[in-house]
Structure 1
């Protein structure tokens, strides 16, 4: 069992404010010991927004802030919003809507500009960006990297972390070098859906037991996530909302007390500047 006073953070999940489980998923998370979560806005087109300019993303971000506030009301700790543009949007813009890669870049960078406003005002904790995890042509790849670099520039300016959706890899040091060139320290770049070994960004480890073992044994900073997508057509995908607390219990049963503190107390403070212990106590 997980102690009532132990922070348990899901670093990356989505909540649908309108069409699926939403707050019921948060209640499931709490019932098995979850306390904190970082809620990433769903891809804009999943919320019915087909953007032609940066401002078009604002309703997506506003709805995310609303469901984060509702989630916080249910949690023993709290939730924080992570706002940005899903990198897969570039394919939707280019392949389905006829934009050039350069035009798509401008639309997506405009969305990052708007997301950064929420970080600057204190309404959001971090930014989300990245590049496609599948093969694309050179122009799309270059435009995607330019969008990601824009997020790094804001991360440096606003002193906030940037979560990345990117290809599977155990070495993304090139990406963190770009971040550092922009003035953003490597430890403020987080690779979402990571394995247990990763050079460059901080890994947000998907809750596969083997990958969690690797991260625990490595002894470096890491986070834990489900990437729960709250999609009515894909129930439970990628992992259900109960998974992080259950994996924390499993890690504790297997003697990984230090790793649990690393992932749920020390690394959140190191990456985001959040205190999961005091926010739990005050709740």
Structure 2
């Protein structure tokens, strides 16, 4: 049972403002006790944008900011936008649209530059970047790492977090070393879709029981997410919007009160400098 004073944050999900459930998914989350969410823009091509330059991402970011404002109206806490470029775009640019890896890198870095403008103005909370979680050739891998490094540079300049989409691993200290080399502390780097054990970035644990139990027992900083993708062709994928509140209730029922506070109060404050308690006004 979630009490009225417990914030419940989904650290990474997507909302489709026009083609699928959108705000109805937010209402499902709130109905189950969810209070806060970090909404990551959908991949640009999912919103009908085939980018050829950084400026082409702007409509994707603007539309995400709009639906985040609508989501906040439905929540007893609030939502924040996380903006950036999905690392899978590089394969679309190179394999389907004929760009060279270096050209794709420039387009994607341009998108990260535009996303950083929204963080600087206060319209977005954090950046999203990463690298493919599947096998690619060396040129694409190097270009992808260069895009990620650009996000770290902006994160350091703006003192904001960077959420990463990357390969599954229990040790990504190489990546946080790169972040620290440009002045972004390791605790500002978040690995989305993480398991319960991770060295380097803060794990944003996909909210399945085994991973959450491991994270709770470890006692290290962690976040919880669904990676809900709000895709009409894949309803409920990856996890449905009700999942994080249900898993919070399950953690509390099993005596993991400290882990819930870790994931929903302490770690969000450390990573993003957001206060999920003072922004919570349950009816």
**Residue 134 of structure 1 corresponds to which residue in structure 2?**
134
Post-superposition offset of 1:228: 0.1
Query: In 2, Cα distance between the equivalents of 1:43 and 1:4?
Result: 35
Post-superposition offset of 1:282: 8.7
Q: Are 1:256 and 2:259 matched, yes or no?
A: no
CA displacement, residues 175-221 of structure 1 (integer Å, 9 cap, x when unaligned): 00000001000000000000000000000000010000000000000
**Residue 222 of structure 1 corresponds to which residue in structure 2?**
222
How many residues align structurally? 283
Q: Are 1:197 and 2:197 matched, yes or no?
A: yes
Task: Give the 3-state SS of the residue equivalent to 2:279 in structure 1.
Answer: helix
Task: Give the 3-state SS of the residue equivalent to 1:276 in structure 2.
Answer: coil
Query: In 1, Cα distance between the equivalents of 2:196 and 2:246?
Result: 18
Task: Give the 3-state SS of the residue equivalent to 1:57 in structure 2.
Answer: helix
Post-superposition offset of 1:281: 3.6
TM-score w.r.t. length of structure 1: 0.99
Query: In 2, Cα distance between the equivalents of 1:194 and 1:245?
Result: 18
Post-superposition offset of 1:5: 1.9
Query: In 2, Cα distance between the equivalents of 1:184 and 1:221?
Result: 17
Query: In 2, Cα distance between the equivalents of 1:59 and 1:269?
Result: 29
TM-score w.r.t. length of structure 2: 0.99
Task: Give the 3-state SS of the residue equivalent to 2:112 in structure 1.
Answer: helix
**Residue 77 of structure 1 corresponds to which residue in structure 2?**
77
Query: RMSD across aligned C-alpha pairs, in angstroms?
Result: 0.8
Task: Give the 3-state SS of the residue equivalent to 2:72 in structure 1.
Answer: helix
**Residue 10 of structure 2 corresponds to which residue in structure 1?**
10
Give ranges in structure 2 of 5+ residues lacking alignment: none
Post-superposition offset of 1:145: 0.0
Q: Are 1:38 and 2:38 matched, yes or no?
A: yes
Post-superposition offset of 1:4: 1.8
Query: In 1, Cα distance between the equivalents of 2:197 and 2:146?
Result: 26
Query: In 1, Cα distance between the equivalents of 2:236 and 2:28?
Result: 12
Task: Give the 3-state SS of the residue equivalent to 1:123 in structure 2.
Answer: coil
Task: Give the 3-state SS of the residue equivalent to 1:233 in structure 2.
Answer: coil
Query: In 2, Cα distance between the equivalents of 1:281 and 1:3?
Result: 12
| 2:41 and 2:60 in contact (8 A); partners too | yes
Which aligned runs of 4 or more in structure 1 are off by greater than 4 angstroms? none
Task: Give the 3-state SS of the residue equivalent to 2:19 in structure 1.
Answer: coil
* 1:18-37 equivalent positions in 2, closer than 5 A: 18-37=18-37
Structure 1 residues 282 and 236: CA distance shift in structure 2, 3 A: closer
